[in-house]
Amino acid sequence: MMTSLTIEVGKVLLVLIGVLNLAAVLTWMERKQSAVMQDRIGANRASILGFRAFGLFQVLADSIKMFAKEDFVPPMGNRFLHTLAPFVSAFFALIGFAAIPFGNVIHLFGRDITLQVIDLNVGILYIFAAMSLGIYGVVLAGWSSNNNYAFLGGMRGSSQMFSYEITIGATILGVLMIFESMSLQTIVQAQGELLWGVIPKWGVVVQPIGCLLFLVAGIAETKRVPFDLPEGESEIIGYFVEYSSMKFGLFMLTDFVETILIAALVTTLFFGGWQIPYLTADGFHFPGGFTLSLSEVAVCLLQVLSCCTKVFFFCWFLLLVRWTLPRFRYDQLMRLGWKMVFPMSILNLLATSLVILLLQ
């Protein structure tokens, strides 16, 4: 008989291993995606015994290269904080996945197991708290480097993340008002209902404008093109300009982890999470009376596969945006956030409130 501790540790390890491996695969996806869009072959040189695996071994080669490089710390910088900063960013990006539900409750080993590391009744607040604390890693990286350009990048990063986190919070308030809960598991379960017996009650159906605004703000939160002003790769003045070796690699890995987190939030809040249209606990129930019975384990596997597929799709979409849109200037970035996206999210919230009031 498996103990509760064993089950909880197993869930933590599964989520952690899954996220880190997907983040590594996204580095390969980004290279291949950019190569296709620019009519190139992409990374394909790294091989093992002549087997190249479509360039997948390049991810392993990059990791070995990062570990083998010199770990440089600026002579006048703060060594402790300089080392701590990338771990702070990575830690707070990873703990956000604890509240993401990747499946419904399943009965195994004589107990009900929630396919979620921790089912919080304020799960969405927990994730936003973790995302907000990740700002400290960016600021510490810029300040501890004792480099004016790095410090400027850190300040730009903190102001950008702070600005768009407010917008993200405003965009999801409409979802919280409709589903009347801050528990992500409850929100996903509520999206299993059908409107007029046909259309799934997904967040994107009841909050299409909120979904679009959330995507824009989410891309800005990940600090990636076209919102990569804090990194400043083309100008070489980002907040990790003084970083090398695996500490630099950890910052880059954190960017991909944040991309996965935003994709998971979009999936959970707006696209039904692990829900599949017309799939209930005992199988499919299609409009018109047609049914297809399935076992509890089969239903659970389909739900987990559905959630993972949606997350993977939105990861691909977020990477696609990078190679589609040009970069913003910093003033354009802040103007977009405070004068366009944020006011539109407030108007969307007011419209949602009015509709809910009229329907009651």
Query: Per-residue confidence of the chain (360 residues) as pLDDT tens digits?
Result: 467 888 889 999 999 999 999 999 999 999 888 888 888 888 788 888 878 888 888 888 888 988 888 888 888 889 999 999 999 999 999 999 999 999 988 887 778 888 899 989 999 999 999 999 999 999 999 999 988 888 888 888 888 888 999 999 999 999 999 999 999 999 999 999 988 888 999 999 999 999 999 999 999 888 887 887 776 666 667 788 889 889 999 998 999 999 999 999 999 999 999 999 999 888 898 888 888 888 888 999 999 999 999 999 999 999 998 888 888 888 888 899 999 999 999 999 999 999 999 887
Residue 68: CB atoms within 10 Å: 9
Residues ≥6 apart with Cβ < 8 Å to 304: 102, 103, 115, 274
Give Cα separations from 190 to 131, 175, 226 (angstroms).
25, 11, 34
- What does the block give as tokens for 236? 């070489």
Residues ≥6 apart with Cβ < 8 Å to 359: none
Peptide bond before residue 326 is cis, with ω within 30 degrees of 0: no
Distance, CA of 349 to CA of 175 (rounded, Å):
9
Distance, CA of 196 to CA of 276 (rounded, Å):
17
Look up residue 200 and give its DSSP letter.
Answer: E
Distance, CA of 326 to CA of 143 (rounded, Å):
28
Closest CA to 98 of 179, 25, 32, 16: 16
Cβ contact 210:345 at 8 Å: yes
Closest CA to 23 of 193, 251, 188, 187: 251
Q: What is the pLDDT of residues 157-214, one digit of tens each?
A: 888 888 999 999 999 999 999 999 999 999 999 999 988 888 999 999 999 999 999 9
Distance, CA of 120 to CA of 180 (rounded, Å):
15
- What does the block give as tokens for 145? 């480097």
Burial grade of 315 (CB within 10 A; 0-12, 13-18, 19 or more):
buried
| Cα angle value 190/184/93 (rounded, 5°) | 155
- What does the block give as tokens for 29? 């996806």
Cβ contact 205:213 at 8 Å: no
Q: What is the pLDDT of residues 26-71, one digit of tens each?
A: 999 998 888 888 888 887 888 888 788 888 888 888 889 888 888 8
pTM given for the model: 0.94
